[in-house]
Every structure is written in structure tokens, then in C-alpha cells.
Amino acid sequence: MTKVIGVISIKGGVGKTSTVISLGASLAKDFNQRVLIVDANFSAPNLGHHLGLIEPEKTIQDVISDKADIKDVIHEHEESGLHIIPAAMIARKVQDPFALKKKLNSIKKYYDYILIDSSPALNEEIVSAMTASDELFVVTTPDHPTLSCTLKAIKVAQQKNVPITGIILNKVRNKTYELSVDEIEKAAGIPVIASIKEHHYAVEAVAHQSPITTFREKSPISIEYKKLAAAMTGQHYMDPRFHARVVDSFRKTQPKEVINRHVLYYS
């Protein structure tokens, strides 16, 4: 059964596109899944840019306006095995918010996972991504302004009846001034399923036009995405860092986000 997962937040710069690429690349390369990533950030797309796909000839907008067949706009990223549908930077109102869902339905069977990157604007673009998804991951950073946007995103998804599986907490510095996993979960009523550190490798990966999970495969950011991908597929993943394994073995309890990942095994 294909899972179509929308990655959302009503704020730019929190890590939606990075998450779609890193998680998608790990699912494809580390866990042997057939993965398609789709840019549904129609007015400010950049999924292709992160992977060196600059100014593609045919895009998702051509598919939605019936100018191209969806199979003809799928690009392959050799290094990771990801399939990508990019978008073009043309500001045009989404006429039918169900069009994306309808178009994706015709190719769903070829994939294990379809991850949808979305627009941070609270308009028909995010609704289009939500309605095309079977479930959602919400990306947030651990600060009050972003959390308030996250709560709004959750409310909109609930109004649209699209289930939210979990929150991906990104750009974590482990500082006392940050909101904790517990505080975020309490405010949102949704489990945090990954806690990703802030590190310049994430920015370097974009400059290198590679997913961080292949560019810096043993970095803490990559390992957290790989652990999330492992939980999603029900596969085992061993942390390659000896030190981390030793620290883990002495822990009395696992971090909250690790425990929460059990929701993914049964979904």
C-alpha cells in the first residue's frame, strides 16, 4: 500500500523541503523503498534546486493544467534513487484543490511512498497538498512564533479531515530557552516523532545539491532521518556511531521522540 505523506508547516524556513529530501532519500537508499517526492509549493518551489534540478522543462503545473502526462515530468536522482516531480516558479492560482490528488492517483501504484513538499502560505496551495495526502507530518522549530504557526497548520488539517501522524522538530540546539518536546506535544496534542539538530551540514548539503543523508551520512541530522525512515518501514537500523550506541545502552528511558515512533509501525 502506497503511503502519501504531506510535509507541512505554515512558516517558511523550518525544514519542510529538507525533510522531504532527507527522509525520502533515506527511505529510497537505506531502506530500499520506491519513493517519489513532489513539489507542491507552487508559487515558491525549490525542491528541484536542492537536488540540482534547475529550470526543468516540464513541471507539476503542466500536469495540473493537462499540458503534460504525469509520467513525463518524473525526474530521477541517480545518487539517491529518488524520483522527483518539480514545480515551476509561476504564480497561478490553484483552480482545483483536488487536481493534485487526482493526478497522483494514476501513478500511486508504482511507489511505496510519495512525499509532498508544500507551501507555507495559508491558501489553496497548502490545501491542495493536504487533500492529496493520506497523512501529514508537521515540521516545526522549538520556538513560540513557529509553534503558533504549527498549531494553526494542525487546526487547518483537522478541518480538512487529514490525519497528522507526527511532528518533526527541526533545528534543535538543546538550549534551555527552546521549547521542549513535552511542551510542544502538550500544546499540539500530536506526538513528536523526530528531533533534528541544527547543523551547518544541512545548509552545505543544499549547496552540494545532495540529500544530507548521502552527503554526510553519519551526521546526527542524517542519523535521525534514517531512524525515522527505519520506523516508518518497520526495519532495523543500527546507529553507526559507537559512542552513541554506548550512551544509548546506559539510558534508563529512551527519548520521547524515539518512544513515539512506535505510532509509525502500526499506522
Ligand X SMILES: Nc1ncnc2c1ncn2[C@@H]1O[C@H](COP(=O)(O)OP(=O)(O)O)[C@@H](O)[C@H]1O
Q: Which residues bind ligand X (CB under 6 A)?
A: 9, 12-18, 170-171, 196, 198-199, 202-203, 206, 221
Q: Which residue, 56 or 220, is less far from ligand X as judged by CB?
A: 220
Least separation in angstroms between residue 109's CB and ligand X is 28
Does 260 sit near Mg ion (CB under 5 A)?
Answer: no
Least separation in angstroms between residue 221's CB and ligand X is 5
**Of the candidates 222, 235, 239, 232, the residue with the CA atom closest to the CA atom of residue 262:** 232
Distances (CA, A) of 252 to 16, 231, 238, 241, 247: 32, 21, 19, 19, 10
Does 141 sit near Mg ion (CB under 5 A)?
Answer: no
Least separation in angstroms between residue 195's CB and ligand X is 10
Distances (CA, A) of 200 to 40, 96, 123, 195: 26, 39, 31, 16
Residue 76, C-beta contacts closer than 8 angstroms, at least 6 positions apart: 82, 83, 84
Query: Residue 171 binds which one of Mg ion, ligand X, none, with CB within 5 to 8 A depending on kind?
Result: ligand X
Radius of gyration of the chain (CA): 18
Q: Which residue, 22 or 59, is less far from ligand X as judged by CB?
A: 22
Q: Which residue, 17 or 133, is less far from Mg ion as judged by CB?
A: 17
Site for Mg ion in 45-104 (CB under 5 A): none
**CB neighbours (10 Å) of residue 99?**
18
Query: Residue 202 binds which one of ligand X, Mg ion, none, with CB within 5 to 8 A depending on kind?
Result: ligand X
Q: Cα-flanking dihedrals φ and ψ of residue 195, to 5°?
A: -125, 110
Site for Mg ion in 1-30 (CB under 5 A): 16-17
Q: Which three cell numbers stand for residue 241?
A: 556511531
Q: Which residue, 196 or 264, is less far from ligand X as judged by CB?
A: 196
Instruction: Enumerate binding residues for Mg ion (CB under 5 A).
Output: 16-17
